[in-house]
Structure 1
């Protein structure tokens, strides 16, 4: 098995956490975002979307971190601990994965990550949208009175939500107004330090780039305007 991963990318880090939690042996292949390795013809053959990560497992090659997490859970979590087999429990996990992808990480990424790497500005609207995501996550944790993102046990849903939230810590954004999110986040760090260290490595890089924005002017990106 191979995982093509970027060292500070929350979706990549979430997949690495799942692989470690499931004790799966794999080869980690670092994709250098700064050099634009994800924009090459060679990488496009792996993932026409030119996004990171990509998982290769025998004859299966796939992108999309949510799909990777679900595949790993289906194939390798035979006990159903990280990816429950009960339909209702699994539905909540799938919901949280969708919530993170469609709203939570999306809003965090637009506010935190895009201005670091591309020609975007942090705006009051972006901050409002990011806080909206935190408000909703706080509501889910309160409504279900849950210790983890999708219940009282760790699941694959926690990995992308944790790696999204660490982006906020990277820019020293405080979670105090969202006490349940803050408690969930700190609990993960305490209970799973080996998994947290994967996220922490990415967080240190993001924090560095926040203070020292990388020069990506050489990169020809088809969607995002590059900072000049």
Structure 2
């Protein structure tokens, strides 16, 4: 299999971490697709031109990070460590990954995509940060992490890899990050530290985020 990634991208980080954690680099080739996603060759694999993209074989590819993490965890040896086979636990992980896509992540672009030079709305960024603080972080802390250090679990799963790398984006606006609850910051660090194989990638995004000094970097949340 071939895993096409953007090395500093939070959406690629969970997939990279799964491969590294399962010591499966001999089965999954990790490829840097920066600058290549609009080429005819890549579009033939993934017409949505997104990363990460997993080439499973010459005829089959999947994209969307959560789908890729699920596939890797269900096909690679040891994957049940990150995506348990118990149907109830698996349903909880799937539920949280859906929440990540539909509730958590939609608040990130206006907060952080200025780091990529993309146009953002600073008013929307403030609104989105308020939603994170008032709605989504309480769900994360008081429901998903109520009794365990990781999402519904004493050890990290792909649900945590879906959530934690994304939180690094908030560091693009330093005062927004200051407003993040300490327990969320501790969770963020706890998850990233559990996957040292992907540290280089985690650090890339962290450096990009904390190094941003453009418009909105010092905005109040």
Contiguous gaps of at least 5 residues in structure 1: 214-228
Structure 2 contact 109–120 (Cα < 8 Å) conserved:
no
Cα offsets for 1:82-124 (capped at 9, x unmatched):
1100011111111111111111122123321257431222223
1:79 deviates by: 6.1
Contiguous gaps of at least 5 residues in structure 2: 216-221
What is the match of residue 171 of structure 2?
169
1:191 deviates by: 4.0
What is the match of residue 184 of structure 1?
187
SS of 2:99's equivalent? helix
Distance 1:87 1:23 in 2: 25
**Following superposition of structure 1 onto structure 2, how do residues 188-203 of structure 1 map, counting pairs within 5 Å?**
188-203=191-206
Q: What's the TM-score once normalised by structure 2's chain length?
A: 0.82
Distance 2:205 2:109 in 1: 14
**Following superposition of structure 1 onto structure 2, how do residues 108-187 of structure 1 map, counting pairs within 5 Å?**
108-113=108-113, 116-123=116-123, 124-131=126-133, 132-142=135-145, 144-172=146-174, 173-174=176-177, 178-187=181-190
SS of 2:31's equivalent? strand
Structure 1 contact 13–202 (Cα < 8 Å) conserved:
no
- The CA RMSD measured in Å over matched residues stands at 2.4
1:3 deviates by: 1.3
SS of 2:150's equivalent? coil
What is the match of residue 83 of structure 2?
83
Distance 1:211 1:177 in 2: 19
Distance 2:20 2:165 in 1: 15
SS of 1:168's equivalent? helix
Q: What's the TM-score once normalised by structure 1's chain length?
A: 0.80
